[in-house]
Amino acid sequence: MAASSGALPVVDLAPFFTEDDSGGAARATAAVREACLTHGFFRAVNHGVPAELMSRALQLSAAFFALPDDEKARARPAEGAVAPLPAGYARQPAHSADKNEYVLVFDPKLGFNVYPSEPAGFREAVEECYTKFTELGLLLQEVLNECMGLPPGFLRDYNGDRSFDFMVALRYFPATEEENNGLSAHEDGNCITFVIQDGVGGLEVLKDGDWVPAEPVDGSIIVNIGDVIQVLSNNRLKSATHRVVRKPAHRHSLAFFFNIHGDKWIEPLPEFTTKVGEAPRYRGFVFNEYQQLRMRNKTHPPSRPEDVVHITHYAIT
């Protein structure tokens, strides 16, 4: 599949932050709907997250990853913390096709992580980013509620527990002649994902058989919807395949996952099945069950690519 010269849709979220709307919010909602129908991805601008904060967080993230390994290893779960995923610094296992290292940051109010003392300001920057991304996630969840034609407040009530959200700071190693993959092609299993990245680039989205670059643009946020929204909408909205292609330099990014509680039951909603006379395309499942299957893809990679578990594991054929 070739790289595409196309670009991701751009959505200006400014109307959601002003009282003098003049129809701007409706137009922005329509733009989000169209992007989720066609690409599953879009570039958000005027989104309410300060550009200076995102730039500072990326710079401090790069400084963190430049520390010696024993210093980075100090980023770990707080004593006695119970989290839905293992927090702290880690590298992808040696047998993994993905060539990166990361630190998993949970809701700072719950104290999941012990941070290293250096770089100064790293903790404050990522915690502030976490708060801002949570606010943006709540806003876009309301927008998606409108896009999907659901009763007012449905997604807010359905997904009102924020304890499974998390954020990851990532560093991808420079490409070699033998290997250039930074993150294998995949879809996100959650509800909404936000990505900010430095100027190195490498994120690509699969659209109609071509890879569309999600180029770095200062101050913007890459937004995509995940498998949960695709299932709820009975395939109406798209959880798109994406990847990171490694470049000759280290690449740094932050990814925030606006998630859903692990105990939630996920299945196509009546608005996309019985109410419109369509059969459900997925059987229902508990979200944790799916997450555990996805995690096993990484910890015990199948010998055959066709055995990797995707959302199609629940597809009704």
Kind plus residue range of the DSSP H or E element containing 10:
strand 10-12
**Predicted pLDDT at 78:** 63
How many CA atoms does the CB half-sphere of 257 hold within 13 Å? 22
Residue 69 within a domain = yes
Residue 58 within a domain = yes
Bridge partners of residue 168, in order along the sequence: 104, 255
Model's pTM, two decimal places? 0.91
Residue 302 within a domain = yes
Residues of the chain with pLDDT under 50: 1-5
Express each pLDDT in 211-264 by its tens digit: 999 999 999 999 999 999 999 999 999 999 999 998 999 999 999 999 999 999
**Predicted pLDDT at 153:** 97
**Predicted pLDDT at 3:** 40
CATH of the domain at 81: 2.60.120.330
Domain of residue 240: give its range. 10-314
**Predicted pLDDT at 87:** 72
**Predicted pLDDT at 307:** 73
Cα 96 from chain centroid?
20
Residue 167 within a domain = yes
Q: Strands, DSSP E only, in 56-180? A: 76-77, 88-91, 100-105, 113-114, 166-172
Residue 111 within a domain = yes
Residue 2 within a domain = no
Residue 4 within a domain = no
Residue 43 within a domain = yes
* Annotated active-site residue in 236, 251, 281, 294: 251
Total domain count for the chain?
A: 1
**Predicted pLDDT at 86:** 61
**Predicted pLDDT at 4:** 41
**Predicted pLDDT at 231:** 98
Whether 251 is catalytic: yes
